[in-house]
Structure 1
């Protein structure tokens, strides 16, 4: 009879260890989920900040390169009103123009959102 009682005690002990291990796993999974949610929230905030910065930069560029006003365009003859192609040429300098400024292309490029996140979480 001692053997049966001993085996039952062993089984109960193992069941208790299993329950504790499962509880620990559930706790660690919950903690990992909280951490993941916090990181996702921070990534969303960084995305919003990046969009705001890009909008601000575009606004600064548009102010630095004023084009003809809407009222001026309305009074110009049709042959002098800038077309979409004219506007694209003003907004996007050619490769030769960029190279002539002496700045490398790397200096002109903005880091991608993925690069910003990678640097932050290294």
Structure 2
């Protein structure tokens, strides 16, 4: 009598059952709701760890060198686009993504199934 043990080259079989139709349809809505909730929480909470210090640490006085004056003007120009709190940017992105996912799911439901 011999016992057959699985070898190294055998993989376990996984049944590929499709997800139930109801769960498949509601899962994107749950993801979108989570994205909206986390994004709103980040915007409201404004955690301290996301605060970015101002880039003008060396002062705003005039510089003698041309290159330093150009760097100072460039720094001031770019500063307008830099976020003051990184978590605000992440929160806004999560909320936009959540709204887009909800909108795509709603339009998918309006479009209906194939052949109908």
- Structure 2 length normalisation: TM-score? 0.27
Q: Which of the pair has more CA radius of gyration?
A: 1
* Richer in helix (by share): 1
